[in-house]
Amino acid sequence: MRHQRAGKKLGRDSAHRRALYANLAGALIEHGRIKTTVTKAKAVKPLAEQMITLGRRGDLHARRQATAFLRSRDVVHRLFAEVAPRFKDRPGGYARIIKIGPRAGDAAEMAYLELVDDEYVAQQLEERTPAPVVVDEPEPEVEDEAQAAGDEEPEAVDEEPAAEEVPDTEVSDTDEKA
């Protein structure tokens, strides 16, 4: 029995599990959002949030601790330079898990693990998707050459009726006498 043994084994030995956690946390920091199973997301979320907390601290010791876990200087640089400053005013809860349903192949429950900062996630998505191509449309051709040359006067604009005009009503003799 596994009494008092926290954490999931995920069918891996300890070295493989540590490598998986480091790779998933690094991918989350690098991309802002990853798609994985719910179990892996639940296991990696606290570790990724610890890395962001180290990034918020910003000192040399925190950088060395993050490098020891993530094993990628590029990811650590991105963590300290871009990701952590976005969360400087947030006391915690930097990531969220959004369940997206079962995977087609083996029906494993899938989820997005993403950073909470919507601005950061939106920026990452913009960087990955190419900008739409805008095609300049030619000006519409004018069918009548006289209109194109400006020879004709513009059409008259209907003016509103004056306020003094009152519709004609029948006036009876009794009204005139009074």
Tokens of 123: 């920026």
* Residue-level pLDDT at 60: 98
Instruction: Assess if residue 115 is contained within a domain.
Output: yes
Is residue 76's pLDDT more than 90? yes
Instruction: Assess if residue 37 is contained within a domain.
Output: yes
| 44-59 confidence digits (pLDDT tens) | 999 999 999 999 999 9
Q: Indicate the burial class of 23 (C-beta count within 10 angstroms; 0-12, 13-18, 19 or more).
A: middle
| 92-123 confidence digits (pLDDT tens) | 999 999 999 999 999 999 999 999 976 666 67
* Residue-level pLDDT at 21: 97
CATH number (domain holding residue 114):
3.90.1030.10
Instruction: Assess if residue 2 is contained within a domain.
Output: no
The number of domains in the chain is 1
Full residue range of the structural domain in which residue 96 is found: 14-128
Mean model confidence pLDDT for the chain: 84
Four-residue CA torsion sign, 144, 145, 150, 152? negative
* Total count of residues recorded for the chain: 178
Is residue 151's pLDDT more than 70? no
Q: Please tell me the distance from the alpha carbon of residue 167 to that of residue 54, in angstroms, as a whole number.
A: 82
Buried b (16+ CB within 10 A) or exposed e, 54-74: bbbeeeeebbebbbebbebee
* Residue-level pLDDT at 143: 64
Instruction: Assess if residue 154 is contained within a domain.
Output: no
Instruction: Assess if residue 144 is contained within a domain.
Output: no
